[in-house]
Amino acid sequence: MLPFIALLPIAGLAAAADISPFEKADILTDCLTQSSVPWNTRGSNDWKLDAAPYNLRLNFTPVAIAVPTTVKHIQDAVACASKTGVKANAKCGGHSYGSFGLGGEDGHLTIELDRMNKVVLDNFTGIATVEGGSRLGHVAYELYNQGKRAFSHGTCPGVGVGGHALHGGYGVSSHTHGLALDWLDSATLVLANSSVVTCSATQNPDLFWALRGAGGSLGVVTEFRFKTFAAPEKVTFFIAQAPWKTEQQAREGMTALQDFVNDGEKMPRELNMRLFITNRFVNFEGLYYGDKAGLQGVLGPLLKATNASLVLSQQGGWLDQVKHFGNGVNLDQGHPYSMHETFYSSSLYTNALTPSQLSAFTSYWFTHAKSNKRDWYVQIDVHGGPTSSVTIPEVDSTAYAHRNYLFMFLFYDRVDRGVYPAEGFAAIQNFVGNVTDKIPVEEWGMYVNYPDPQMSREAAQRNYWGKHLERLRSVKGEVDPGDLFSYPQGVVPAV
């Protein structure tokens, strides 16, 4: 916690640039009060709930927390931040690995959106209107109950649709149905100058392009409009255990996995799958759009080639799978929300690994990761490949830069209590570094929704947005030249 000082004379606004943002707390909250924007009293129960990020390792302290319930409140909160010279960030589900919804550092205005979570399905057009503070489980639950519809997104019910759909949104439907951002039809947002704009393929198309991959840097989305698909009546979720005990077996098994997922004859669009590696077990897990017999037929060759065996294959309805992948927690998540972890993580996109790249991965796994006794895992999603719907749109059609990569890795290291240890950082960074060391720099990237907050802003921008960075910076320069919506790894405006 930073010391809290509130001594600034109101007249000092012009010189506000060089003083600590915490000294502006009173002017900022006075401005919010004058504009009738609800805000949390420091130390109140709501303050504690709203200031607590999912990742307790990065517990930043805001200058103030606005809790809007209308678009006008959001416009006024943005105006107050701009006038007082305090950076502002939208916070939806608070699940950013870098706590970017709190600004990724102390001293920002948090615009807490989770009181705005209405979801309305238009049964005729199939378009879902989703307020900017909704969580994924709530959206899935409402879409199903209002008309048996769904769209493609990740698995944790508490994740916010805001951060998720603005920066990718990969889940157990993505191989079949693409990313969350691919289902976005239009969005309405408040810009840095407090104006409200709507963007879509035909309205403000540059902004719409940039929003789908880097939205957190551009404004506060008040409302998303998603296309939806009819939720299938029957799906099958599964877990298969791989008994690999040696590095040699892991290498052989992962080679078989790569061959399988890169073969359009074997890997159907309907199969969504990841490899999940921990110190205690290695699993294939996923969701098949079809029945149990269909899944068993499709997985047969992979199980044979990897010696894996099915330990769960369960046919169920749409919400059954949503609950399964949400680890059984209540789907209809809103405010208050109080689940947290203490962790550090990083990510990587790659094409199919060459033998030397694969060896770098398995060698680190078996020689170094095995001795890490914390609760770490590596999740390798089958992101692309010949039958993945993620790869259907052109790579330049949105700001999401890494559509064409086969694999998406998440490296995650967690402590169940206490403080995350300093040596943890190197354990993850070396895992990633040993693999990227063998790959030309233009042949890998990182997922902005699985950010590594230890990276410099330059490295982060390059790794998250690759070839799209220049165009993004130019859109950012148009709509937010003063970098009001700033966070330590956000898009820097072009000058």
Q: Which residues bind ligand FAD (CB under 6 A)?
A: 54, 89-97, 100-101, 113, 132, 154-156, 159-160, 162-164, 166-171, 215-216, 220-221, 449, 487
CB under 6 A: which stretch of 126-134, 144-152, 283-291, 398-406 binds ligand NAG? 144-152
Rule CB under 6 A: is residue 203 a binding residue for ligand NAG? Answer: no
Q: What are phi and psi of 410, to 5 degrees?
A: -120, 125
What residue type is 18 in one-letter code? D
Question: How far is residue 150's CA from residue 126's CA, in Å, rounded to a whole number?
Answer: 9
By the rule CB under 6 A, 129 interacts with ligand NAG? no
Closer of 126 and 393 to ligand NAG (Cβ): 126
227 binds, among ligand NAG, ligand FAD, none (CB under 5 to 8 A by kind): none
Q: Please name the amino acid found at residue 244.
A: W
Among ligand NAG, ligand FAD, none, what binds residue 155 when CB lies within 5 to 8 Å by partner kind? ligand FAD
Q: Is 313 in the site for ligand NAG (CB under 6 A)?
A: no
| Residue 474 in the binding site for ligand NAG (CB under 6 A) | no
Q: In what order do the strands lie in the sheet with 88-91?
A: 64-66, 109-112, 88-91
In contact, 93 and 161? CB cutoff 8 Å: yes
Q: Which two tokens stand for residue 300?
A: 């047969």
Of 455, 449, 446, 493, nearest in space to 471 by CA = 493
**Beta-bridge mates of residue 271:** 288
3-class state of residue 19 by DSSP: coil
- DSSP helix, strand, coil percent of the chain (3-state; round to 5): 35, 20, 40
- Rounded to whole angstroms, the Cα distance separating 107 from 156 reads 28
H/E segment holding residue 430: helix 424-436
Answer yes or no whether residue 227 interacts with ligand NAG by CB under 6 A.
no
Among ligand NAG, ligand FAD, none, residue 193 binds (CB under 5-8 Å by kind): ligand NAG
434 binds ligand NAG (CB under 6 A): yes
E-state strands within 143-259: 149-150, 184-190, 196-200, 220-226, 229-230, 235-242
Find the shortest distance in angstroms from Cβ 156 to ligand FAD. Answer: 3
Cβ closer to ligand FAD: 104 or 253?
A: 104
- Give the nearer residue to ligand NAG in terms of CB position, either 34 or 123: 123
Which of 159/231 has CB closer to ligand FAD? 159
Q: Which of ligand FAD, ligand NAG, none lies near 98, with the C-beta cut-off 5 to 8 A by kind?
A: none
Measured from the CB atom, the residue of 348 and 360 that comes closer to ligand FAD is: 348
Q: Can you tell me which of 26, 206, 252, 291 binds ligand NAG, judged by CB under 6 A?
A: 252
For residue 488, is the peptide bond before it cis, meaning its omega torsion is within 30 degrees of 0? no
Residue 100: CB minimum distance to ligand FAD, A: 4
314 binds, among ligand FAD, ligand NAG, none (CB under 5 to 8 A by kind): none
How many residues bind ligand NAG (CB under 6 A)? The answer is 21
Residues 349-368 that bind ligand NAG (CB under 6 A): 364, 368
Q: Enter the tokens of residue 485.
A: 């919506």
> What residues pair up with 214 in beta bridges, in sequence order?
none
Sketch the per residue contact string, 21 through 60, with ligand NAG: x for CB under 6 A, - otherwise: ----------------------------------------
Among the listed ranges 162-170, 219-227, 245-253, 448-456, the one in contact with ligand NAG (CB under 6 A) is 245-253
Torsion sign over Cα 282, 286, 291, 295: negative
The closest of 196, 250, 160, 176 to 74, measured between CA atoms, is 196
Can residue 198 be called a binding residue for ligand NAG (CB under 6 A)? no
Given a contact cutoff of 8 angstroms between Cβ atoms, the answer to whether 287 and 298 are in contact is no
Per-residue DSSP letters for 264-299? Answer: TTTS-TTEEEEEEEESS-EEEEEEESS-HHHHHHHH
Closer to ligand NAG by CB, 115 or 234: give it. Answer: 234
382: Cα separation from own chain's centroid: 17
Min dist CB 450 to ligand FAD, Å, is: 6
- Chain residues that interact with ligand NAG, rule: CB under 6 A: 123, 146-148, 191, 193, 195, 244, 249, 252-253, 306-307, 364, 368, 430, 433-434, 437, 478-479
